[in-house]
Amino acid sequence: MQETRSDPKGTLRIAVLTRYVHDAGGVEAYLKSVLPALAANGHELALWHEFAVPSGWTAYAGADLSCRLLKTDHLDRSVDEVRRWKPDVLFLNGLSEPAVEMRLIERTPTVTFLHGYHGTCVSGGKTHMFPAPVPCERQLGAGCLLHYYPRRCGGLNPLVMIEGYRKQRIRQQLLHRSAFVTTFSEHMRREAISNGVDRARAVHLPAFNPAATPHARSGSLEAPGFSTIESPVHVAFIGRMERPKGAHVLMDALPLLDDDLRSRLRVTFAGDGREKAALEQTASRMAQPEISFPGWISACDRQRLLSTIDLLVVPSIWPEPLGLVGIEAGAAGVPAIAFDVGGIGDWLEDGVTGRLVAAPPSSAALATALTDALRHEDRLKAWGRQARKRAASLTLEAHVSALEDVFRRAAVRPS
């Protein structure tokens, strides 16, 4: 049994477990912001990562943070190495092989961050794709296997389905046995509770914008807008070009706009993925609007793009755990349009910071919302000002303070 700490306000030894230590996605962007802040507050950190840094990439963790590669093919050795470091608390961020986490959780108080649907969905997508995309509200269990093929929850390989179910059930047990489960949105907190986590142990931490914003607008709260009503209107999609992210929904909505709006509209699809080639083909057949595909862009280039756009479109058809790109856009004074799925409503208030479009997602509904938004210049600017104010209230300091409180509460609990 883990010894309890005598000083609940003191600093802690925190063992962090994650998949990558290079900039691979949202989890890494989160840790890249949070870990230095924890270290600056005096906590001692060690980070174990599951996959080596690819050639040509740089680890996001600084030299002052101990980074160690987990040897998942030598499970006992990896578990012993973490235990010998004698952490006060484990901070789990979703390994691909949960067996390591399950062994470690036996002796050390654990905080699990539920970044996605790990332990609550076989495929991790939490969406029925047939006959139409609909967010799934089922609790993970054997019944999911009956829905997997008819509702197209994932691929068609039965071995992948069985292996995915096995791992997700282990992750579900990890959630049950963690001292606390933390989330970025109230939606994900409810997801944890619906999958068996006690309400008192499911903690919604305040969100923040992990992206550095050196090119964000400063000074007044003026949002980007039109110099005149006749000037080009610039909207953008920023993200992975995969089916759940809904870039195709935005593309299909463009021909539904009236000719006048399309003639002065510029659309940027920034990102990459399996849907990109099909999107480019569709765009090549459109005379209007002007459409560009800059590919995957860096954080700095993303900020430069945000400084040029009037509206961000987040057309996700799956229930986004939060949708951080919307908060990032808000910090730059850019309002958003998105479907009311997942955690989007945590940062997007309909008629205040943008337009929240009722689900189920459809191109027709998105086209109607786009037309309404882009026809009202003053209201769009007002949304941008409110989006900036809302984003400014979501600080890293508030998040880290709440996370530290969870760590301290976990450290005094017997494992």
Token pair of 376 as six digits: 């009202």
Residue 6 lies in a domain: no
104/383 Cα distance (integer angstroms): 47
Is residue 220 one of the residues assigned to a domain? no
Q: Are residues 179 and 314 in the same domain?
A: no
Query: For residue 103, is pLDDT > 60?
Result: yes
* Residue 228 belongs to a domain: no
Q: From the CB of residue 199, how many other CB atoms can be counted at a distance below 10 Å? A: 10
Residues 127 and 148 in one domain: yes
Other Cβ atoms within 10 Å of 400 Cβ, number: 22
Q: Can you tell me the distance from the alpha carbon of 262 to that of 252, in angstroms, rounded to the nearest whole number? A: 13
Indicate if 98 and 144 belong to the same structural domain. yes
344: domain CATH number is 3.40.50.2000
Q: Which domain holds residue 273?
A: 233-392
Of the candidates 207, 237, 238, 243, the one whose C-alpha atom is nearest the C-alpha of residue 318 is: 243
Bridge partner list, 113 = 182
Q: Which two tokens stand for residue 333?
A: 């004074």
> Residue 370's closest CA among 285, 244, 261?
261
Side-chain half-sphere of 381: how many Cα atoms within 13 Å?
Answer: 12
Specify if 3 maps to a domain: no
User: For residue 213, is it within any domain?
Assistant: no
CB neighbour class for 260 (10 Å; exposed up to 12, middle 13-18, buried from 19): exposed
* pLDDT at residue 229, as a whole number: 38
Question: Please, what is the average pLDDT of the chain?
Answer: 90
Collapse the DSSP code of 128 into the 3-class scheme (helix H, G, I; strand E, B; otherwise coil) and give the result.
Answer: strand
pLDDT digits (tens, 9 = 90+) for 112-170: 999 999 999 999 999 999 998 889 999 999 999 999 999 999 989 999 999 999 999 99
Q: Are residues 355 and 405 in the same domain?
A: no
pLDDT score of 171 more than 80: yes
Number of domains comprising the chain: 2
Together in a domain, 291 and 400: no
pTM: 0.88
- pLDDT on residue 73: 73
pLDDT above 60: residue 8: no
404 shares its domain with 297: no
**Does a cis peptide bond (omega within 30 degrees of 0) precede residue 206?**
no
Same domain, 75 and 114: yes
Strands in 336-339's sheet, in edge-to-edge order, are: 290-295, 265-270, 233-238, 311-314, 336-339, 354-357
Query: Do residues 240 and 322 both lie within one domain?
Result: yes
Question: Around 397, how many Cα atoms within 13 Å sit in the side-chain half-sphere?
Answer: 2
Q: What is residue 123's predicted lDDT score, i.e. its pLDDT?
A: 95
Residue 311 confidence class, pLDDT cut points 50, 70, 90 = very high
In a domain, residue 222? The reply is: no
Instruction: Please check whether residues 201 and 254 belong to one and the same domain.
Output: no
End-to-end alpha-carbon separation of the chain, Å? 6
Write the pLDDT tens digit of every residue in 16-62.
999 998 877 889 889 999 999 999 999 999 999 999 988 877 787 66
Could you tell me which residues come within 8 angstroms of residue 48 by beta carbon, excluding any fewer than 6 positions away? Answer: 15, 16, 17, 18, 67, 68, 69, 70, 78, 81, 82
Examine the pLDDT at 9 and tell me if it is beyond 80: no
Judge contact between 343 and 185, C-beta under 8 A: yes
Residue 214 lies in a domain: no
